[in-house]
Structure 1
Amino acid sequence: MIELPQPGKSLLRLLDAAFEIQMEPEPTEQDKAFLTRQLVQVTLPHSSPGNVPIWKRKNGNLTLAIRSGWNHEKDEPIGYPFGSIPRLLLFWITTEALRTQNRKLELGVSLAGFMRDLGLDPSTGGGRRGDGRRLQNQMERLFRATISLEVTNKEASTNGKRWIDMQVAPEGELWWNFKNPDQATLFGSWIELGEKFYEAIITAPVPLDKRALSALKRSPLALDLYAWATYKTFSLDQHKKTEQFIPWRSFMTQLGAEYSNPMDFKRKAKQAFKKVMSVYPGLDMEDAEGGFIIKRGRTAIVRQKSKRKLSTKTSE
C-alpha cells in the first residue's frame, strides 16, 4: 500500500483557515486585527538589510525610511526589523492601541502568553531558531527603531513635502524569561508608544482578519499582499472604481524592493497571492500584460461606521 505524503503544518493551517473563513466570512471581534494604512502602502523589509545607515522603500510620492536603534552596551546598531515577526507585532500593536485608546500597552507577565497573542508557538523554546529568541530580537529592533514617512508634491505650481519622524516605543520594560517562556514574572512587561507613532496608527487603520494572518504568518510577502489587497479593495469601493491595473515593476518597488530580478518577484508574488486568495475569498484578480488587475469586491472585513475604537466585549 502506497502511503501518501502528509501535508505540512503551514498547509494544514492554511486549509483550516480557508475552510473557517468560507463558513464564517465575517470574523468575531476577537478575530479582528488592524494595521496603519501607511504601513500597508509601504512595508518593512522581508529580509535583513544588513549594516546600512538607513533603509528606505517608496510607493509613488510616499517614502518609508527606518533608522536602527542603538545598542549602548555593545556600542553598535541594533539592526532593522524584518520578516514576519515585526509584522505580527505591528498588527498586535495597532489593534491593542485602538482597543485601549492608550499609548501604554501591557504585554503580560509571561512570554508564552504574549507569543500566543501574536500567533507564535512557545513550544519551540528560546533556542537560536525558536520563536521566542527570534521574537526577542525583532521586538528590540522594532521598538527601538525610528520610522519616517515623507510625502512629496512636485507640480508646476507647487513643489513641497510633508514628513513625520516617529519613535515606535521610546519607553518600555521587558522582564520575561526567554529561556523559559511559560515562567510568569513578578512584574508585567509593557511598552509606551511614541506620541506621533500612536496618532499615526489609530488614524484610518486597515481592518484585517486574524484567522488569515495566522494562516499566512510564515510568509512576510503573503502578509503584505493580504493587507495590501484588502486595503486596495476597500479603496476601489470608496472611489467608485470597478478595477485598477497594477504594473509588476512599480509593485515590486512598493512591496519587494529586496528582489533584484523583477521576474523572480513576480513568481514569488503569484505564489503568495494563491495563499492569500484561499483565506480572502472576496479577492478578485486577473493577469494582464506587464502586471495584473485587481477588481472591486468584498473587503476582508466589513467596515463599521466608527473606526477609531474597538469593542472590548468578547464573543460568546
Structure 2
Amino acid sequence: MENYTPARVGEGKYADAPALLDAEAVDQQDIGYTSRIFVQALFPYRRTDDLIRQVQNGPNRITVTSPDGLPYGKYPRLIMAYIITQAVHRQDLPEDEARRIPLGRSMNAFLEQIGLMSRGTGGQRGTVTLIREQLRRITSSSIKVEKIFRTQERDRGRGKSIDITDEYDLWYDAENPDQTTVTESYIELTREFYQQTIEAPIPIDLEVLKQLGKPRAIDIYVWLALKKYWLSKSSHRDFTFTWDTLALHFSPKELTTRYERSDFRKEVRKCIASIEELWPEVGAEVTDEGLLLHRGDPPVRPKPSRRELHR
C-alpha cells in the first residue's frame, strides 16, 4: 500500500486544493468546481433501490442517505458540478441569496446549463423524467462525514450530518421541456453544505466533465484533478496509487474474486483512456501495480505565487 495519507475529510481545508486560479487559464477554459466531499464516488453508478451508501477510506467515512432513493448515474454528477460551481461564483452575494441556486425557467434551459445540449425527451425513460427524478433524489439527500479512530483501548468517532438543501421549488413542465415559467426553479442549499462547498473548491474543466460518458469516468477525472494538485506540491515526481486504493474509491462493492478484480481493472483502463482523449496531458498510466500518476499541470492551473513570479 502506498505511503500517501489521504487528505482529511470534513476537517479544515484540503492542503492540496488550489486557492487561486491562473487568470489566463480561466479565460481559455470553461472552469467549474467540485467539492472535497465528492472526490470519492458517493453516488451509485446504476439505478438502485438502496436508501443509503457508505464509503470508507481509512479512518474517513462518508454516508449518503436519501428517503427517495440515492441519486445515481451521470446526471446527478453533472447537476452537483453545476450547483457547486454556482455556489462558488455567487460568494460575493449576501449568503441567503448566494445559497439559492437558480435552475432556469424551463427544463431545456436547465439541461443546457448542466451541459446536455440535446433537447429533453419525455416518456418513462426520457431525459425530462430522469432529470426530475435525480433532482428529487438530490434534494432529499443527506451526507454524514465522520472520522473513526480505533486504538487498543477505545474507539472514537467524530462527525457531522449535512443536508444538501434547505428548500427547493421546481416548476418544470414534464410534457413540454421548452415551456417557460413565471417563477424560476431553484434549490436553496443549507448553510452547512454551502460553507462546506466554498471552503476549498476544487477547480475542474467543465467541458471535459460534460463530455465524459460514464459516471465512473467522471469520478476518476475529479479524483485525478485533486491528485494532480497534490502531486505538484509534493516531493514526488510521480506516484503509484495501488489497485486496492482505487477500489476503495471507485468500486461500488468489495472485490472478492479474481474475475471481479480483473473486470474492475478493465473498467478503470477504459475510463483513463476516455479521460486522456479529452485531457492529453493527464499523465496517468495504468500498470500492473495500479495507476502511475506523473507530475504535471492540473486541469486548471493555479495562479503562480508571488515568490514564483519573482524567481
1:195-214 matches, cutoff 5 A: 195-214=191-210
Distance 2:42 2:161 in 1: 16
Residue 103 of structure 1: how far off its partner (Å): 0.8
CA deviation map 1:242-295 (0-9, x unaligned):
222211123112112247512111101100100101111221123433312112
Partner residue, 1:223: 218
Residue 162 of structure 1: how far off its partner (Å): 2.7
Partner residue, 1:139: 135
- Residue correspondences, number: 272
Partner residue, 1:9: none
Distance 1:182 1:106 in 2: 17
- Structure 2 gap ranges (5+): 1-23, 92-97, 306-311
Partner residue, 1:5: none
SS in 2 for 1:123: coil
Distance 1:122 1:231 in 2: 30
Residue 92 of structure 1: how far off its partner (Å): 0.4
Distance 2:69 2:127 in 1: 18
Match of 2:105 among 105, 109, 112: 109
Distance 1:305 1:168 in 2: 34
1:61 matches 2:59:
yes
SS in 1 for 2:55: strand
Residue 199 of structure 1: how far off its partner (Å): 1.0
Match of 1:185 among 172, 176, 181: 181
- Which shows bigger deviation, 149-158 or 26-35? 149-158
SS in 1 for 2:199: coil
Match of 2:84 among 90, 94, 100: 94
- Aligned-residue Cα RMSD (Å) equals 2.3
Give 1:275's aligned amino acid. S
1:142-291 matches, cutoff 5 A: 142-154=138-150, 160-216=156-212, 218-258=213-253, 260=255, 261-291=260-290
Is 1:103–1:198's contact at 8 Å kept on the other side of the alignment? Answer: yes
Distance 1:169 1:30 in 2: 29
Distance 2:180 2:166 in 1: 25
Is 1:41–1:59's contact at 8 Å kept on the other side of the alignment? Answer: no
Residue 106 of structure 1: how far off its partner (Å): 1.4
Residue 298 of structure 1: how far off its partner (Å): 0.8
SS in 2 for 1:140: helix
Identity %: 27
SS in 2 for 1:177: coil
- Structure 1 gap ranges (5+): 1-24, 70-77, 307-316
Q: Which runs of 4+ in 1 moved over 4 A?
A: 155-159
1:15-54 matches, cutoff 5 A: 26=25, 28=27, 31-52=30-51, 54=52
SS in 1 for 2:72: coil
Residue 196 of structure 1: how far off its partner (Å): 1.1
Task: State the TM-score, normalizing by the size of structure 1.
Answer: 0.80
Give 2:211's aligned amino acid. A
Give 1:293's aligned amino acid. L
Give 1:60's aligned amino acid. G
Change (3 A) 1:176 1:305: farther
Is 1:43–1:224's contact at 8 Å kept on the other side of the alignment? Answer: no
